[in-house]
Amino acid sequence: MKKLILMLMVVAILTPAFAGGGKETPAKPAGPKKITILCVTSPETNALKAAAEEFKKKNPGFEITFSEQGRMGYFTNVTTQLVGGTDAFDLV
């Protein structure tokens, strides 16, 4: 019983020392934050580009790139890239 109490006391004393984490400061990202959007070339994309401009006005420091392609094969391409685990785009 005394060993159990001693172990609990040691754990209670050491927990705050190790739970505090490191003293490292988080790294700040260099340059603008980039967002790549995969989309179909269409009138809807023009509206999306206008919305992206408003987003950039309200959130400075973001760079938005559009990767456009035609309607033929778009959904097949999206599915293939998502299943493959691509990092070529952030939003679809």
Mean pLDDT of 16-25: 62
Q: How many CA atoms lie within 13 A of 77 on its CB side?
A: 14
Banded model confidence at residue 48, pLDDT cuts 50, 70, 90: very high
Mean pLDDT of 25-54: 85
pLDDT, tens digit, 9 for 90 and up, residues 68-83? 998 888 888 889 988 9
Q: Kindly report the pTM of this predicted structure.
A: 0.60
Separation in Å, CA 1 to CA 13, 29, 37, 38, 64: 19, 52, 63, 64, 63
More confident residue, 90 or 9: 90
Domains of the chain: 29-92 (3.40.190.10)
